[in-house]
Structure 1
Amino acid sequence: MQKYLLLLNLAVIVLTVNAVVEITDFFPFGVSHGDQYLESGDDTSSAKQNLLISFPFFGYNHSSLWVNVNGAISFNAPINRYTPTCAPVHHEYRMISPFWADVDTEFEDPTPGSSITYRESTDLADLQKAKNEIVHAFPDFSHIDLTWTYIVTWYNVTFFRDIPTRTIRNTFQAAITTDGRHSFAIFYYNKIQWTTGTASNGHHEKGTGGTSAQIGFDAGDSHNRTMLDVSCKDSVINISSMSNVEKPGVFVFRIDSAEIIKPYTLPPPVIVQEKLECPPNSIQLRINESVCYSFHPALSQFVIAERECNSFGASLVSLKNKYTSVYIPQLANLLFKHLEVEQFWINAHRLIDENTFEWTNGEDFVFTNWKNNRSEEKVINECVAVNLEKGFWKTEDCFARLPFVCEFYGEGKKVPQTALVLEEFPDLPNYIYETGVHQTFMKILDKGDRQ
C-alpha cells in the first residue's frame, strides 16, 4: 500500500482551445526589469539564493531557494533530476514545479529571445499584480498586504537534447509571494509546445510522449504533495488552455500551510446579491441569499470538521455580523439539541499566532461575540466554538468533538445526506425566516400551512 497522501489532485478545467496568457500579461521579466540570467546548462541550477524574508511553504519557513533549469523552484537543495518522479520526492527536493521537465539550455547563451530569468522583488507594481491574482482566486484576502515576491520566467526554452535551431519552445512563469504569514504561488503559461525530453523517452523531434511534465508542489516529506491531474500525462501540453481560476493559462494556490489550498472560487461580497437556490440539505438567510448553510451532526474535531466542509466546496461557518450570530446558533440549537452538546464549531482559531484569533482563511476578526464582550485570550484553548443556547463564542480544545455548520457560495454543491434540515424532525413545527435582526427570527406555522 502506498503510504503517501495526495492532498489535492486538482481537476483543472479546459477553457478555450487556443487561449494562453499573453507575454504582456506576465509579470515583467528580463534583465531590463532587474532579472538575472540563469547560466546555460543541462540539469543545472542557480547558486543558492538568500532571501530578504522568511518564506512560508508547506508549514516550513525558508530563507533561501534555488532556481532550477528543469522547470522548478526548490528550497532544500538544487535539483538535477530531469525526469519528474510522478510520486513523492526526497527531502532535498522540497519544491514548487510550474513545469518540471527536461529543459535544456546548454548550447544557447541566454538572450532576451530565449532564457531563464529570475528576481526577488518588493516593487509595488509586482506586489499589486500578485495581489490582484490572489484576490480574484481568494476573495476573502482583499485586505492582504503583500511585502515580497520572487519571479522566475522560462522564456522560449526547449527540451533535451538542446538544438538552438529548434522551433518547438515553451514559455511559462512562476511567481511566489507572501505577506510574511500567508504565501501564494501564481503560474502563467504562454505557449507550451513540448512535454518531454528525449532522455525521458520523449520523441526526439516533437518532445512528446514518455514521462511528461509534472506541475505542482511537494513538501519532500513523502506525505504532503499536490499535483495537477494532467501531470505526467500527454494532456499536460494543453496546460495553457486550462486554469483553476477561470482565466486560461493562470493557476493560483495558497501554499503556506501543510495543505495546498485551491481557490475558493467564491464571488466577492457585494451589497446586492443574486438569490440562488441552495442545494438539498442546506438553507439560506435573507441577509445574503447567495450563501448557503448546512448543519452537520457528526461529532468531529476542529480540523476534521473543516475538511468535511471542504469536501463539498464549503468551509466552516464564519459569524461575521450580528445577524448571522443570532440566526445560525438558534437554527443549530434546534437541529443539534438531540446530541446533548452545548456548542458547535465555527471556522475561527489561533493556531498560527497564539496571540491572535482569526478566521481559517487568515482574515482578522472585525465582529466578535465573546461572552461578556471579551476575548478569552488567557485560556489555553486554540479553537472557537459557539454556545447553542446563548450564541456567545468560547475557546475550545481543538480536539473536542462537536457538531458543525458549513457555509458555501452559489449552486452546484452536493451537500452530504447526513446534513440535517428541519423537515427531518416531524415533532418540530415548521419555520420560516422573518426579515430584520430585531424581529422574531422564526415564525411557527400550523401543520396545515406547510407546503
Structure 2
Amino acid sequence: MKSSFAFLLLMSGMVTNIEPTPEALLYPYGLDQGDRKNPKLDDGTSKRLPLSVPFTFYGKEYRTLYVNNNGVISFDTQVKQYTPDPFPLADGRPFVTPYWGDVDNVLGGEIYYRQTTDPALLKLITQNINQYFPSIPFTATWAFVATWDHVAYYGSTSNKGNTFQATLTTNTNTSFIILNYKDIQWTTGVASGGDPKTGLGGTPAHAGFNSGDETNYYNIPGSRTEAVINITKTSNVNVPGRWVFQVDNEVIGETTEKPPTDKRCWL
C-alpha cells in the first residue's frame, strides 16, 4: 500500500533534578489508563478527535487533532506521509512530530492515546513544568497523551521497536509540549531507504514541530540524520530523553544543543 518560537537556552547545570529511569520518563499509558488504541494499519491514523478544551499552538486555537501512526500528532488534518520532510513546511499543516518515521504497527507495537483531566497526572505534569520553567506560572488543567509502544518500522525483518511519547498540556492560556523517549532502536523504514535488517540508513526520522506558516517551527538536533537514534540521550531540560517546549504564542525551550557525535552511538 506504499507509494509514493524569545529563546530560552536551558544549558546543563541550569536545571537541577534527579534523572528518571527510562521507564519513569514516560507518563502512564495503556488500556488500564483509559487509553484508546490506533488501528493496526500501515500509515494509519486515529479518527478525528475533538478536544474538550482548545489547545493553543503558535497563536492559534485548535479543537481537533489526529494521532497518526507514523509518529505525528496533527491538528485538523491527517498526516499519512511516511518519509519526513525538513521543517519549515509551508503547506499549512500544523503538527507535532515526536518521531516522524515509517512506523508499521502491523509488524509490531501499539499506539495509545487519551485526553485527560486526571488529578494525579496533571499534578505530575505541573511539577515537571514548574521545575523546568520556574519563571512561568503554570498549573495543568488538561492533557493529551499519545504513546508509541515498541512500534516496528515498515519492511522490518528484525524485532526492533521504538517507544516514545508526546504530551500536550494547557491551563487554557499557556500550552506546553513534552516529548519523552524511552527506547529508540530504528530510524528508517524500507520505503524511506532504510535497511530491512537494521532499520537504519535512508532518510531518518524527524522530531520537532511545525506551525505550517513557513516561519514558526523547531527541529530537534539530529533530526533527519543518523544521530536521531541518540534522542534518548539528549534534552533541552537536562533530563536525557525528554524535550519540553512552551508553544502557545512565545515559544520557550528552543536550544542550540548539538547531538552526540560519537559514531559508536549510532550503531
Q: TM-score, normalised by structure 1?
A: 0.51
Question: Which residue, out of 129, 154, 157, partners 1:134?
Answer: 129
What is the letter of the counterpart of residue 209 of structure 2?
F
SS in 1 for 2:127: helix
Q: Deviations over 1:53-94 (max 9, x none)?
A: 011001100011000001110003000100010132254521
After TM superposition, what 4+ stretches of structure 1 lie above 6 angstroms from structure 2? Answer: 10-13
Other-structure match for 1:203 = 195
Question: Which residue, out of 164, 172, 181, partners 1:172?
Answer: 164
Other-structure match for 2:73 = 73
Matches within 5 A, 1:55-66: 55-66=55-66
1:134 CA drift (Å) = 0.8
What is the letter of the counterpart of residue 222 of structure 2?
V
Q: Deviations over 1:14-69 (max 9, x none)?
A: xxxxx985223311100111000111111111010000001100110001100000
- For residues 157 and 129 of structure 1, the distance between their equivalents in structure 2, rounded to whole angstroms, comes to 26
Other-structure match for 2:252 = 261
Counterpart check, 1:247 vs 2:242? no
- For residues 6 and 96 of structure 2, the distance between their equivalents in structure 1, rounded to whole angstroms, comes to 15
Counterpart check, 1:117 vs 2:108? no
| 8 A contact 1:11–1:228 mirrored in 2 | no
Question: Which residue, out of 228, 231, 245, partners 2:220?
Answer: 228
Q: Name the CA shift for 1:144/1:7 in 2 (closer, same or farther; >3 Å).
A: closer
SS in 1 for 2:152: strand
Other-structure match for 1:89 = 89
Flag structure 2 segments of 5+ consecutive residues without an equivalent. 13-18, 257-267
1:213 CA drift (Å) = 0.9
- For residues 153 and 140 of structure 1, the distance between their equivalents in structure 2, rounded to whole angstroms, comes to 29
| 8 A contact 1:20–1:189 mirrored in 2 | no
1:261 CA drift (Å) = 1.5
1:152 CA drift (Å) = 0.3
| 8 A contact 1:55–1:180 mirrored in 2 | yes
Q: Name the CA shift for 1:80/1:20 in 2 (closer, same or farther; >3 Å).
A: farther
Q: Name the CA shift for 1:126/1:104 in 2 (closer, same or farther; >3 Å).
A: same
- For residues 87 and 143 of structure 2, the distance between their equivalents in structure 1, rounded to whole angstroms, comes to 28
- For residues 85 and 174 of structure 1, the distance between their equivalents in structure 2, rounded to whole angstroms, comes to 19
| 8 A contact 1:21–1:240 mirrored in 2 | no
Matches within 5 A, 1:392-411: none
Q: Deviations over 1:341-386 (max 9, x none)?
A: xxxxxxxxxxxxxxxxxxxxxxxxxxxxxxxxxxxxxxxxxxxxxx
- For residues 120 and 135 of structure 1, the distance between their equivalents in structure 2, rounded to whole angstroms, comes to 21
Question: Which residue, out of 139, 145, 148, partners 2:142?
Answer: 148
- For residues 219 and 12 of structure 1, the distance between their equivalents in structure 2, rounded to whole angstroms, comes to 25
1:260 CA drift (Å) = 2.7
| 8 A contact 1:174–1:188 mirrored in 2 | yes
| 8 A contact 1:74–1:93 mirrored in 2 | yes
Other-structure match for 1:190 = 182
Q: TM-score, normalised by structure 2?
A: 0.85
Q: Name the CA shift for 1:156/1:20 in 2 (closer, same or farther; >3 Å).
A: farther
1:162 CA drift (Å) = 4.8
What is the letter of the counterpart of residue 133 of structure 1?
N
Other-structure match for 2:207 = 215
- For residues 229 and 6 of structure 2, the distance between their equivalents in structure 1, rounded to whole angstroms, comes to 23
Report the aligned-residue RMSD: 2.4
1:126 CA drift (Å) = 1.3
Q: Name the CA shift for 1:72/1:184 in 2 (closer, same or farther; >3 Å).
A: same
Percentage identity across paired residues of the two chains? 36
- For residues 245 and 131 of structure 2, the distance between their equivalents in structure 1, rounded to whole angstroms, comes to 11
| 8 A contact 1:186–1:251 mirrored in 2 | yes
Counterpart check, 1:36 vs 2:27? no
Q: Name the CA shift for 1:51/1:215 in 2 (closer, same or farther; >3 Å).
A: same
- For residues 201 and 51 of structure 2, the distance between their equivalents in structure 1, rounded to whole angstroms, comes to 37
Q: Name the CA shift for 1:11/1:169 in 2 (closer, same or farther; >3 Å).
A: farther
Matches within 5 A, 1:289-308: none
1:161 CA drift (Å) = 1.8
- For residues 140 and 7 of structure 1, the distance between their equivalents in structure 2, rounded to whole angstroms, comes to 14
| 8 A contact 1:21–1:189 mirrored in 2 | no
Q: Name the CA shift for 1:118/1:12 in 2 (closer, same or farther; >3 Å).
A: farther
Q: Which has the higher contact order (CA 8 A, sep 6+)?
A: 2
- Number of residue pairs matched? 245
